Amino acid sequence: MRARGRWAGVGLLAPAYGLIVVLVLVPLAALLVESLTPGRVAGPASLGLLFENYLRFFRDGPSRFVLANSLTIPAVATVLCVAIGWPLAYALAKVHRRRGNALLAVLMAPFFVSYLLIIYAFMGLLQVGGPVQVALHALGLVPATTSLLYSRAAVTLALVYEYLPFMVLSIYGSLERIEDSVLEAAASLGASRLRVFAEILWPRSVPGVIAGCALVFIPATGSFVEPQILGGTRVSMLGEVINAQINQTFDLPRAATVSLVLTLAAVAGFALLALAAHATRRAVSR
């Protein structure tokens, strides 16, 4: 029975894991090999080093600057998603619990509409003569001819819109699991609301916050349409660089290098965010 069960297990796992091995693991290995082959424009300056593409990337000032953008813009967007998403998840899970699930479903609707349309909408909203720009001008905040497009703020805003539902969903799950009896007991024993937040709500929602950070930060580092359309030439991210190398200069070794740099940076950045979230858990409850 056991042995048969094991073979059945292999059979059950085969389709999904076969696909993951062939289309993800092997290609990632191939990407690593590709990144170690000389780039197209190696030329006479070639150093003949194994990690030459990486050296070139990190020696190049503009590349480093774009890499920094690719981490800081998504990081700010992720923090904003936590700042807006946590209270919203709390409101849905604990205050409006009867309508919570339905509201959650409605909140996900904009995300189901293609995010390209959301980007397109922001292009219209923020342009000169667009409603947001007109409103801010009416309030005397911006000159009549200043576009709000082509700024870090525009790119960040679009990312927050795109990914907020993921963050809310993830935090909602962890908040909903906290039994009301625990909260009621704390309140009846005279704990202040701040203390309930610091010692029960926040610490127990940190796993949800960390999962949310993974769902927001990592894909956001790979965005290229947002900086291309809303950032214009003024705000660049690595996604645009990779896309240009694939579709314009056909420099596959360089594209592979930048892709791996981006992936490692994304995972490292996420690890930092997760550690920070974990640290607040202890700091707050002390």
Measured from the CB atom, the residue of 10 and 45 that comes closer to another protein is: 10
Q: Which residue has the tokens 């070794």?
A: 253
29: its two tokens: 């290995």
* CA 231/CA 93 separation, integer angstroms: 36
Q: Are 125 and 161 in contact (CB under 8 A)?
A: no
Measured from the CB atom, the residue of 47 and 257 that comes closer to another protein is: 257
CB of 201 to another protein, least distance (A): 14
CB of 87 to another protein, least distance (A): 6
* CA 77/CA 45 separation, integer angstroms: 39
Measured from the CB atom, the residue of 253 and 282 that comes closer to another protein is: 253
CB of 283 to another protein, least distance (A): 25
217: its two tokens: 């930060």
Q: Are 182 and 200 in contact (CB under 8 A)?
A: yes
Measured from the CB atom, the residue of 76 and 246 that comes closer to another protein is: 246
CB of 237 to another protein, least distance (A): 10
CB of 152 to another protein, least distance (A): 19
What are the backbone angles phi and psi of residue 224, rounded to the nearest 5°?
-130, -20
Name the percent of the chain in helix, strand, coil, to the closest 5. Answer: 80, 0, 20
187: its two tokens: 């309140």
